[in-house]
Every structure is written in structure tokens, then in C-alpha cells.
Amino acid sequence: MRRLARPQPRDPRVSVARGLAPAQAVSQARVPLTSAAQTWADKLALDAAVAGYGPHLAPLLADEAVTDVLVNDPHVAWVDRGEGLVAHPLALSGDELRALALSLAAAARQRLDDASPIVDGTLPDGTRLHAVLPPLSTWPLISLRTSRRRRLSVDDLVACGTIAPALEPVIRALVAERASTFISGATGSGKTTLLSALLGLVPTDQRILCIEEVTELRPDHPHVVHLQQRRGNVQAAGEVTMSDLVRAAMRMRPDRLILGECRGGEVRDVLAAMNTGHEGGWATIHANAVTDVPARLYALGALAGMSAHTVATQAAAGIDTFVHIRRAAGGEGPTRWIGEIGVPVRVGGDLRADIAASIARDGTLSPGPAWPRLLQRLDIPAENEEAR
């Protein structure tokens, strides 16, 4: 028995050419419709293919609450939605996990193979990738740090409790008065998010130079230049270090020199910049508290061949404030908030951070010994201590 041919959609343009009214031609056209849900699903699938996530990780990265996705083996991914890591089952083989890591590295335009088994990169949607291949690990390891689809402003951070309302005038004054500042905190505490928001307060006629290992800072500002570290190839040639980039940036007429993360010998060049007229610079640094930042600077300075005396002298002269951001899971209040502000001072030749303010999770601000000194540096009249 002959199978009937399936009717083909009628092109309304042909009907109009035959004399039918356009509205009637469109109404009679048998064109298959695509639902909004299907269109959105197709978009997500296309985005996942471009980014290299594949069907296993794409749904996780599509969740706007997700900040980190960590894959340690083929059977589970650990997902952070702001409340700590939660296990999410995967159904991959070892070969599929390796292929996924290679796909992500290719999407980030980075090399990942047996000769180069560690990779850092940025995916097309801004997500940061770190991957490691065996035999350096038992299984291929994938770490993804998402980039927010919407830039957060200082107003947003005040609304969510990251910046206590009582602290807002001080934070805004740090930018307005060109105070050179280090933001400290643990991994994932929100240092980059805070810095991006603060850079949005920089006047639009100023030029911002952002120097990072992998580009993460995306401030809402019309004049931002990004410089990114380049690793050497397998022959150890072609490397461009953070120190190289800081020195290059100083010759590019920066109004604000920004170091995404100070984690090595580049501290020498950053401190030199802050002591040679480049005011209003910012950097982030890993530390457990404001009072621990001097020890961290000493350690980084040692990597650059700096003596403790030199670090203390340059830090006290070039850095105006330390801002520490805390992180806590569960309970009431924000999960990330500015918990301390400190002022660097030299005492007997040593560098010390004096507490200017401590901020509780509920936003209560308690002034410290260095509070008057901070207000003086920011030109805030002491009688207007709104934070009390």
C-alpha cells in the first residue's frame, strides 16, 4: 500500500503571489510552531555546546544561584549555591570525564594534555575554569567558578547585607578619596564581586587597568583595560608574569591600577606603584583576618626578595586601608559581608594592622582604635560618625 506523503508547510509568500491577502495567507500557512519552552531549551543546549559543558554540567551552570561546580570523579559533582557544597550525582565514565575536561579547555582556548596537564582559563560566558589531568590526580578534576550574569552594584551589596548600611559612606569614600586598599578574605568569600562593584564608583573620566591571572573583574565602567597573565608553553617559553603586567600597566597611564589577586612576587611592583603616585589602587589578597594581612605581605615579599623592613616601609607608606570580607553558611544574615576594616601602621619597624571597625553579621558596626585615623584619611568629619 502506498504511503501518503506528509503535507509540507505552505509558504505564505507563495499564497500572496497568487493573489491571497497577506493576513489570510499567514493564517492558512501550515508552519509548525515552536513553544517558548522549546526555544529556551534550544538556547541552553546551544550555550552548553559553545561553552563545552555538555549535558551533565549545563543544567547546573544554568542555575543562577550556583557559584561553583567541582568535579572530583565521574560519579559526583559538588555544587555551591551560597550555602556550602552539596553533592549532585553524575553518570560518566573516566574517558567521558577526561573528554569533558578537554572540551572545556578547548572552549577556553587553552591547551590541556599529558604534556600540559594543568589549565586555567575563562570560558566564553565568563566562567573560570581550572582543570587537572591524571597522573597528577586520580581522576580528571574540573573546577568551575561562575560569572554573574548581572553586575552587582554597591547598592545591591548594601541591599543584600554584604555592605552594612552604617559602613556604606566609608566604603564609598574609599573610592572617592582615592584610598589605596587591599581586600582580604578566604577563597570564595566574594572579594572579586566586591571589587567589581566598587570599581563601578570610579568617575567615568578615569582609566582603570585591571591585571589578573584569569580575567574575572567586569566593572560597570566605560574605560577599563584588562591585562591577563600568560603561561609559558611546554618549552617554558613565552611566559608573561603578573610582575611583567604590573610594570607594563604603569606605562599605560592608569588612573586606577587594579590587581585582581596578589599571590606572588608581583607584590613588589604593586607596592612600588602605590608609592610612586598611583593612588586609588586596589588589590585582593588571601588572609584570615585584617590583622593577618601584614604576615601575608611579608610572605609574598619574601618571594620577591624583599626584606621585612622594606615590605613594612612600603606597605605603611603606600596602603591606606585593609578591607576584610567574611563568609558564613547557614543561620540568619548575609552569607558574605565586610567584617573588618584596618589601617596599616609601622610599630618599631614592624608592619601592623590596627582595627578601625568591626562589623557583625547583622550589620552592627563597632569602631576600633584606628577609627579616627580612618575618618581623617577619608575626610569624614568625626562628628558625623553615622556608623555609631
**pLDDT one digit per residue (tens) for the chain, 388 residues:** 445 444 455 566 667 667 676 667 666 665 555 666 666 566 655 665 555 677 788 888 888 788 889 999 999 999 988 777 899 999 899 999 999 999 999 888 888 988 889 988 888 777 889 999 999 999 999 999 887 666 789 999 999 999 999 999 999 999 999 999 999 998 888 899 999 999 999 999 999 999 988 778 889 999 999 998 877 666 667 778 888 999 999 999 999 999 988 888 899 999 999 998 889 999 999 999 999 999 999 999 999 999 999 999 999 999 999 999 998 877 788 889 999 999 999 998 899 999 999 999 999 999 999 999 999 999 988 755 544 4
- What is the model's pLDDT at position 194? 94
- What is the model's pLDDT at position 14? 66
Query: Cα–Cα distance between 264 and 305 in angstroms, integer?
Result: 11
C-alpha cell at 350: 614592624
Are 283 and 261 contacting, i.e. CB atoms less than 8 angstroms apart? yes
CATH 3.40.50.300-classified regions of the chain: 154-384
Query: Cα–Cα distance between 122 and 105 in angstroms, integer?
Result: 9
SS (H, E, C) the chain: CCCCCCCCCCCHHHHHHCCCCHHHHHHHCCCCCCCHHHHHHHHHHHHHHHHCCHHHHHHHHHCCCCCEEEEEECCEEEEECCCCEEEEECCCCHHHHHHHHHHHHHHCCCCCECCECEEEEECCCCCEEEEECCCCCCCCEEEEECCCCCCCCHHHHHHCCCCCHHHHHHHHHHHHCCCCEEEEECCCCCHHHHHHHHHCCCCCCCCEEEEECCCCCCCCCCCEEEEECECCCCCCCCCECHHHHHHHHCCCCCCEEEECCCCCCHHHHHHHHHCCCCCCCEEEEECCCHHHHHHHHHHHHHHCCCCHHHHHHHHHHHCCEEEEEEECCCCCCCCEEEEEEEEEEEECCEEEEEEEEEECCCCCEEECCCHHHHHHHCCCCHHHCCCC
- Write the CB contacts of 274 (distance below 8 Å, at least 6 apart in sequence): 180, 257, 281, 314, 318, 319
Are 47 and 55 contacting, i.e. CB atoms less than 8 angstroms apart? no
Assigned fold of 37-145:
Beta-Lactamase (3.30.450)
* Phi then psi dihedrals of residue 122, to 5 deg: -125, 125
Residue whose cell numbers read 587553552: 110
Query: Cα–Cα distance between 48 and 38 in angstroms, integer?
Result: 15
Residue 39: exposure state from Cβ atoms within 10 A (0-12, 13-18, ≥19): exposed
Q: First-to-last CA distance in the chain?
A: 90
Residue whose C-alpha is closest to residue 114's, from 98, 97, 90: 98
Residue whose cell numbers read 572617592: 176
> Which CATH superfamily groups domain 154-384?
P-loop containing nucleotide triphosphate hydrolases (3.40.50.300)
CATH 3.30.450.90-classified regions of the chain: 37-145
Q: Which residues pair with 358 in a beta bridge?
A: 340, 366
